[in-house]
Amino acid sequence: MALQDLTPQLRTQLNRTERAVGWFVFVAVALLLLGFGCYIYETAQERGWFVIKAKFHTYVISSAGLTVGDPVFMMGFRVGNITQVKPKPPGNAHNVELEFEVRDDYFRYIWQRGSVVLVNSAGFIGARQLEVTRGTNGYEICVTQPVFDKTIPEIETDVAEEPGHWQLAQDVFDASSNIVYKAFTVLDATNVPLMSGLYTLVGGTNLVRVADLPPPDNTLCVYNNTINRNRIVASWHDRQHKYINFTPEKDSAWLQSVEPVGVGDRLAQVVTQVQQALPGFFALTNQLARILDNTANLTSNLNATVVEVRPAMTNIVQLTALMHQPGGVGTMALGTNGPAQLAEALEKVNLLLASSNTNLDALVEGLLPTLEHVSDITSNLSVQVHNSPTMLPGMAKTITDTDDMIQGLKRHWLLRSAFKKKPGETNSVAH
């Protein structure tokens, strides 16, 4: 049916339906484009399409477990991807070269000192991943500030026109290879005139004074801290101690790699160590078997010994019980009748001592008159000796000593009681 054959009502309803379908298709296409744009944006954000990326390269022993597109990590964050894995030509000192990119701002953590590439294991099936450690000292390896080679007069002019904006992009030395001015030192009117008398590295090995270099080599590498590019334009060259121009399309900065031994190599080493240790292990098991046999024999002999020692142990227990009883030690030492006999003997000893004391007193009483007579004789003899000068001096001394001895016996503690004076008794001899 032709459109002109429709009634006006049908024609109007058809136009409305066409407009509704058109709007539906337009909205669907717009939503599809919006979703695709969001997907592109998220992918770009994830892969860093709109941010500055720094290119690095390193060398590894093996490319096993490393493929193009694998992520690169730093401090646990995904900061880039591997862009190229290629073998080095024959005769080269390295095996495999890896190129990878690190996004902004993470490449600003990569410094001259402390930044290395760790090749870590990422699973049990041989997968590996790269991890870049953050720097701890030195200079940033990649920068976005362009560097310029300028002579001393040019630097003086620039410093005068823009004070505080120009800084060194290299290390400057003295004649003794000591660094006088480090890179990033702010240049001013006081230190720039001194630069011509200082030294720079030529060829990475020779120190040459800046003023002695012929044009155009008599320059210093500097940069303007107000100029910043949206790409990497310079990288630090550790051998020359300066920043050099960097072309992202063909240049990449080098980082040292730390590649641990792979899991397969570790397993092979473990197996080798186990094989080497097996003979010693078997010898140890044989020794253990002999020790166990000896232990069994010793246990059997010990059981027989315990059976033989059991009566002696019973006697020891009985003796111990007897020692805990009152008088048990005496009974054990002297027998059952020993304590009674000992008591009887002690009683007889006491009687003997008492009788001896009585007899001693009687003996002392009997000895008293004799001692007194001897004392009188010696006293009279002593008087006669002193009164008679004709007697020999030796006899007088002997008699005197004898009298002193008798007088000493009277004062002795053992015989003192024997010389006690009776009431009313006086000395019969006067000295």
For 410-427, the pLDDT digits (tens) are 776 666 666 666 565 555
Q: What is the dihedral of CA 283, 285, 288, 292, to 10 degrees?
A: -130
Maximum distance among all Cα pairs of the chain, rounded to whole angstroms: 204
Note the pLDDT of residue 99: 95
More confident call, 49 vs 86: 86
More confident call, 264 vs 34: 34
Please count the residues of the chain: 431
C-alpha triplet 102, 235, 259: angle, nearest 5°: 50
80 falls within a domain: no
Domain end among 168, 201, 228 = 228
Least confident of 139-143, 204-208, 388-392: 388-392
Q: What is the dihedral of CA 289, 290, 293, 294, to 10 degrees?
A: -140
Dist CA 118 CA 8 (whole Å): 78
- List the one residue out of 174, 185, 239, 181 whose CA is nearest residue 207: 174
Q: What percent of the chain has pLDDT over 70?
A: 81
Confidence label for 429 from pLDDT (cuts 50, 70 and 90): very low
Note the pLDDT of residue 431: 40
302 falls within a domain: no
Least confident of 134-138, 216-220, 322-326, 426-430: 426-430
Dist CA 127 CA 119 (whole Å): 10
217 falls within a domain: yes
Confidence label for 328 from pLDDT (cuts 50, 70 and 90): low
20 falls within a domain: yes
Residue 260, phi then psi, degrees to nearest 5: -70, 165
Residue 59, phi then psi, degrees to nearest 5: -125, 140
Q: Is 241 left (phi over 0), alpha (psi -120 to 50) or beta?
A: left
Asked if residue 175 lies in contact with residue 153, where contact means CB atoms within 8 angstroms, the answer is no
Give the structural domain span for 32. 13-47
Note the pLDDT of residue 132: 96
Q: Is the pLDDT of residue 168 over 90?
A: yes
- List the one residue out of 117, 122, 58, 110 whose CA is nearest residue 85: 58
Dist CA 181 CA 192 (whole Å): 11
Least confident of 134-143, 221-230, 293-302, 320-329: 320-329
DSSP state letter for 109: G
Domain end among 175, 195, 228 = 228
Provide, for the chain, the percentages of residues in helix, strand and coil under a 3-state DSSP scheme, each rounded to the nearest 5: 50, 20, 30
Note the pLDDT of residue 18: 81
151 falls within a domain: yes
- pLDDT tens figures, 347-372: 887 887 777 777 777 776 777 777 77
Q: What is the arithmetic mean of pLDDT over 88-95?
A: 92
27 falls within a domain: yes
Q: What percent of the chain has pLDDT over 90?
A: 38
Residue 418 tokens read as: 């024997």
- List the one residue out of 269, 23, 236, 84 whose CA is nearest residue 147: 236
Dist CA 276 CA 264 (whole Å): 18
Q: What is the arithmetic mean of pLDDT over 246-272?
A: 79
How many distinct structural domains can be found in the chain?
Answer: 3
Cβ burial of 85 (10 Å; 0-12, 13-18, 19+) is: middle
Dist CA 21 CA 43 (whole Å): 33
285 falls within a domain: no
pTM of the prediction? 0.54
Question: Which SS3 state, helix, strand or coil, does residue 70 take?
Answer: coil
- pLDDT tens figures, 178-196: 999 999 999 999 999 999 8
Domain end among 228, 256, 291 = 228
Q: Which helix (H) or strand (E) holds 200?
A: strand 199-202
Q: What is the overall mean pLDDT for the chain?
A: 82
Dist CA 241 CA 275 (whole Å): 52
370 falls within a domain: yes
Which residues make beta-bridge pairs with 136? none
How many of the other CB atoms lie within 10 Å of CB of 390? Answer: 4
Q: Which helix (H) or strand (E) holds 224?
A: strand 220-224
Q: What is the arithmetic mean of pLDDT over 308-317?
A: 76
Dist CA 42 CA 48 (whole Å): 10
